[in-house]
């Protein structure tokens, strides 16, 4: 494996865990944060306690507060800020690349859709970053809680780009004995799968806290994946992608794990907590809350049937009771599977 310079933008839980994987692989890693205190903590204590507790970081992870210093001579840049910060950070990246007259491979590890425009994260980045600064554009997706990656739980993800050589370069840079990277070329399916599983994970958490059992959870996962796949196919996704790591794989990981912020938000909703309080106390991004609204609107716009997403929308945005939402779903006219 050749030694690359890898810049990671965003020192939250996922950016930090990915930076740690890259540093463990021997790369020169700069972890950019807009918070000086976080950069200091990373460099002085080799920890990022707010997001990853007492887990030590590889000493090869260097915190950097200056965007230009972070991306100078970088081969690969990973964008790992929340969806809502993606354009703002991309603008800072572009200013740095312009000054440096440099091009990069840019991979987004963010999982969401943009409110209002309904854009995928890679589409937002393609709009913000002029092609002359890009040697490649893609995403990293798959079942990968930062908490498991930092503790070396065997983890599989996909590096996705329409340019196979770009996906393979990232695959080789990040793979190791505990972190195995596959490649894929289906950007639409991977990004829709990665964003939409968060919506279903909120539902799964709510089921858990209300005491529902395996039948109800299996129903949610299976029919949830069916509607994710329908939406993806309406945009031209390959249906097989939803059977893979960024589809059923990530749905399973997120909708069954206490590490998931979306699942935990769902648990708290089921307990009757107010959405604003849940967001305030999580202290980390809960992408599925915004994605639920985007997906609900998209379903209407594209005439795609997404009853579970719409039920979760009503719980989140119209204060519908979870049990009432389940009754509405169960009372729908019976239909044929596989449509």
Ligand X SMILES: O=C(CO)COP(=O)(O)O
Ligand Y SMILES: NC(=O)C1=CN([C@@H]2O[C@H](COP(=O)(O)OP(=O)(O)OC[C@H]3O[C@@H](n4cnc5c(N)ncnc54)[C@H](O)[C@@H]3O)[C@@H](O)[C@H]2O)C=CC1
Rounded to whole angstroms, the Cα distance separating 313 from 255 reads 17
Residue bearing tokens 């854009």? 119
Task: Indicate the annotated binding residues for substrate.
Answer: 111, 261-262
CB-CB contact of 302 with 234 (8 Å): yes
Helix axes 287-301, 187-209, angle to 10 degrees: 120
Task: Indicate the annotated binding residues.
Answer: 10-15, 34-35, 51, 111, 142, 144, 146, 197, 250, 260-262, 285, 287
Binding-site partner at residue 237 among ligand Y, ligand X, none, CB < 5 to 8 Å by type = none
Rounded to whole angstroms, the Cα distance separating 116 from 293 reads 10
How many other CB atoms sit within 10 Å of the CB of residue 321? Answer: 11
The CB-nearest residue to ligand Y is 12
Binding-site partner at residue 201 among ligand X, ligand Y, none, CB < 5 to 8 Å by type = ligand X
We find the least distance from the C-beta atom of residue 79 to ligand Y, in angstroms, to be 9
Q: 15, 205, 224, 244: which one contacts ligand Y (CB under 6 A)?
A: 15
Region label for 88, one of left (φ > 0), alpha (ψ between -120 and 50) or beta (otherwise): alpha
The DSSP result for 23-53, as a single string, is HHTT-EEEEE-S-HHHHHHHHHHS--HHHHT
Q: Does 247 bind ligand Y (CB under 6 A)?
A: no
Rounded to whole angstroms, the Cα distance separating 219 from 212 reads 11
We find the least distance from the C-beta atom of residue 222 to ligand Y, in angstroms, to be 23
Could you give the string, one character per residue 271-290, with x where binding to ligand Y holds by CB under 6 A and - elsewhere? -------------xx-x---
The structure tokens listed for 253 are 């990981």
Binding-site partner at residue 81 among ligand Y, ligand X, none, CB < 5 to 8 Å by type = ligand Y
Q: Does 81 bind ligand Y (CB under 6 A)?
A: yes
Nearer to ligand X, 153 or 324 (CB): 153
Task: Indicate the annotated binding residues for NAD(+).
Answer: 10-15, 146, 261
Binding-site partner at residue 34 among ligand X, ligand Y, none, CB < 5 to 8 Å by type = ligand Y
The DSSP result for 218-273, as a single string, is HHHHHHHHHHHHHHHHHTT--GGGGGSIIIIIHHHHHHH-TT-HHHHHHHHHHTT-
Residues lying near ligand X in the complex (CB under 6 A) are found at 111, 143-145, 198, 201, 250, 253-254, 260-262, 287
Sites for ligand Y among residues 98-127 (CB under 6 A): 109-112
Q: Which of 132, 197, 323, 339 is catalytic?
A: 197
Verify whether residue 197 is a known catalytic residue: yes
Catalytic residues: 197
């Amino acid at each position: 494996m050749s030694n690359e310079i890898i810049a990671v933008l965003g020192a939250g839980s996922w950016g930090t865990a990915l930076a740690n994987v890259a540093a463990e692989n021997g790369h020169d890693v700069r972890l950019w944060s807009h918070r000086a205190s976080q950069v200091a903590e990373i460099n002085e204590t080799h920890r990022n306690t707010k997001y990853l507790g007492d887990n030590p970081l590889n000493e090869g992870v260097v915190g950097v507060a200056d965007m230009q210093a972070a991306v100078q001579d970088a081969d690969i840049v990973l964008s790992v800020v929340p969806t809502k910060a993606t354009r703002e950070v991309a603008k800072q990246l572009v200013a740095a690349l312009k000054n440096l007259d440099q091009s990069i491979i840019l991979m987004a590890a963010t999982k969401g859709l943009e409110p209002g425009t309904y854009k995928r994260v890679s589409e937002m980045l393609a709009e913000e970053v002029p092609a002359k600064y890009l040697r490649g554009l893609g995403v990293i997706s798959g079942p990968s809680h930062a908490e498991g990656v930092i503790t070396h739980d065997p983890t599989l993800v996909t590096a996705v780009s329409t340019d196979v050589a770009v996906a393979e370069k990232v695959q080789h840079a990040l793979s190791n004995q505990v972190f195995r990277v596959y490649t894929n070329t289906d950007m639409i399916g991977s990004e829709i799968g990665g964003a939409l599983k968060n919506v279903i994970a909120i539902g799964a958490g709510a089921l858990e806290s209300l005491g529902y059992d395996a039948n109800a959870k299996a129903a949610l996962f299976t029919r949830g994946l069916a509607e994710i796949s329908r939406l993806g196919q309406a945009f031209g996704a390959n249906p097989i992608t939803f059977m893979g790591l960024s589809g059923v794989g990530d749905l399973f990981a997120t909708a069954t794990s206490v590490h998931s912020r979306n699942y935990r938000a769902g648990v708290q909703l089921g307990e009757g907590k107010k959405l604003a309080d849940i967001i305030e106390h999580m202290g980390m991004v809960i992408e599925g809350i915004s994605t639920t609204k985007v997906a609900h609107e998209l379903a209407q716009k594209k005439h795609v049937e997404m009853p579970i997403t719409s039920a979760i929308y009503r719980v989140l945005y119209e204060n519908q009771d979870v049990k009432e939402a389940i009754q509405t779903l169960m009372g729908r006219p019976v239909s044929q599977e596989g449509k």
